[in-house]
Amino acid sequence: MLDKGFAGIGVMAVLRVAIVALLVWACLQVILPFLGALTWAVIIAISAWPLYQRLTQCLRGRGKLAALLVVLLLGLALAVPLGLMVLTLTDTLPHLNGIAHGLANFTLPPPPAWLSKIPLMGEALTQYWVTAQTDLPGLLARLKPWINQGALWLLGRGAMLGVSLLEIVMAIIVAGLLLANGEALWRIAERVINKLGGASASELPQVVARTIRGVTTGVVGTALVQTILCVIGLLIAGVPGALALGFLCFVIAVAQLPTLLVWLPAAGWVFYTGATGMGVFLLLWGFLLVNTIDNVLKPLLISQGAKLPLSLIFLGVIGGLLAWGIIGLFIGPTLLAIGFSLFQFWLNNDEEAETKPERP
């Protein structure tokens, strides 16, 4: 009888665990399409929390109004650059049309002597140059399939960019809801972490929040500096549509892509117009300043905000980016920060145990 009773209890326990696991799995399936937006919403809410608190104080405790203002400010921060980019692109279209007409009548000069001296590929490059010089339409016709593939790839990337913008808009709205209920959600997070990790995990919520804010400051601050430097270089070189290219540079820098995708084609256009000196200047400006400041400034800003060693942040940023993409910029340093904090807590506990006086 006892064996049957124990067996019944065991079956019921397994059944309860299975039901809970099935419920968790079903909830994850429901949330999965919105997981990216929800993750970004949490990151935005944690990053904007100090601003939300200051606005709440200024508005005499009206938290919902403060959250609404934060959402509007973030929406403006997204909409204003997009509007400027559209206006600048409208002004730039006549320049692009003129360049297209110029290319229709463009003929290449004879190939330079040094081109044929390049090891392994010099003769082939010279032959392509001569072909383009004598029969440019024919060369373009042969390249048309690759051009079409590139255009389709760009269209696909544009569609992905549109989906990403919608995801960001959704994340901003959800972040406003998280900010409006921030105090209650923070207490729940602290209770969950304390139940899972005990006393050693009591400081982890602060560590996570501090690290996320540090990464946000580092990524956005570095992208902003790179954008300002890029726009200055483009304006000095006389490139049209500098504001639109600057916004594109900011998006590329935040996405952790190389900014040379912006200023290198611009330098090519400057060389095409015949301004060789300005073209060389833009290349040097881009390679030596715009493209390299990211490697120094970003880890420095993140380490100061997260209050963690610079080497640890550097490993977290690079490793997280390689492992998970742009979201890894936040996940990598946060995971290393949590591990480092737990390691410090363990060391401090050992030191306290060693220095604790023995009872007589």
The predicted structure's pLDDT at residue 357 = 52
Task: Tell me: do 62 and 142 sit in the same domain.
Answer: yes
The predicted structure's pLDDT at residue 359 = 47
The predicted structure's pLDDT at residue 233 = 92
Task: Tell me: do 214 and 175 sit in the same domain.
Answer: no
Task: Tell me: do 192 and 232 sit in the same domain.
Answer: no
Q: Is residue 21 part of a domain?
A: no
84 pLDDT band, cuts 50/70/90, is low
Task: Tell me: do 256 and 339 sit in the same domain.
Answer: yes
Q: Is residue 84 part of a domain?
A: yes
Query: Rounded mean pLDDT of 121-144?
Result: 72
96-110, 197-211, 297-311: segment of lowest average pLDDT: 96-110
Q: Which structural domain, as residue segments, surrounds residue 171?
A: 36-91+134-199
DSSP assignment of 311-323: HHHHHHHHHHHHH
- How far apart (Å, rounded) are the C-alpha atoms in residues 261 and 259? 5
SS3 category, 106: coil
- Angle in degrees, CA 274, 276, 277, rounded to 5: 135
Domain end, chosen from 199, 220, 236, is at: 199
More confident residue, 346 or 57: 57
Half-sphere exposure of 187 (CA within 13 A, CB side): 3
Question: pLDDT tens across 66-82, in order?
Answer: 999 999 988 887 777 66
Query: Rounded mean pLDDT of 32-57?
Result: 86
Structure tokens at 284: 């040097």
Q: Is residue 120 part of a domain?
A: no
Task: Tell me: do 66 and 170 sit in the same domain.
Answer: yes
Question: pLDDT tens across 21-40, in order?
Answer: 899 899 888 888 887 788 88
The predicted structure's pLDDT at residue 92 = 59
What percent of the chain lies above the pLDDT cut of 70? 75
More confident residue, 217 or 101: 217
The predicted structure's pLDDT at residue 69 = 92
Rounded alpha-carbon distances, angstroms, from residue 232 to 245, 273, 285, 297:
11, 19, 10, 18
The predicted structure's pLDDT at residue 215 = 79
- How far apart (Å, rounded) are the C-alpha atoms in residues 193 and 201? 6
Mean pLDDT, the chain, rounded, equals 77
Q: Is residue 101 part of a domain?
A: no
Question: pLDDT tens across 234-285, in order?
Answer: 999 888 878 878 888 887 787 777 888 888 888 888 887 778 788 889 989 9
Question: pLDDT tens across 171-196, in order?
Answer: 889 989 999 998 888 888 888 877 77
Task: Tell me: do 191 and 228 sit in the same domain.
Answer: no
Question: pLDDT tens across 161-171, in order?
Answer: 667 677 778 88
Task: Tell me: do 224 and 171 sit in the same domain.
Answer: no
DSSP assignment of 280-325: HHHHHHIIIIITTHHHHHHHHHHHHHHTS-HHHHHHHHHHHHHHHG
Task: Tell me: do 249 and 273 sit in the same domain.
Answer: yes
Domain end, chosen from 167, 199, 231, is at: 199
Domain end, chosen from 155, 181, 199, is at: 199
Domain count, the chain: 2
Task: Tell me: do 151 and 231 sit in the same domain.
Answer: no
Query: Does the structure show a pLDDT above 90 at 232?
Result: yes
Task: Tell me: do 236 and 176 sit in the same domain.
Answer: no
Q: Is residue 189 part of a domain?
A: yes
Task: Tell me: do 171 and 225 sit in the same domain.
Answer: no
The predicted structure's pLDDT at residue 355 = 56
Q: Is residue 99 part of a domain?
A: no
Task: Tell me: do 208 and 76 sit in the same domain.
Answer: no
360 pLDDT band, cuts 50/70/90, is very low
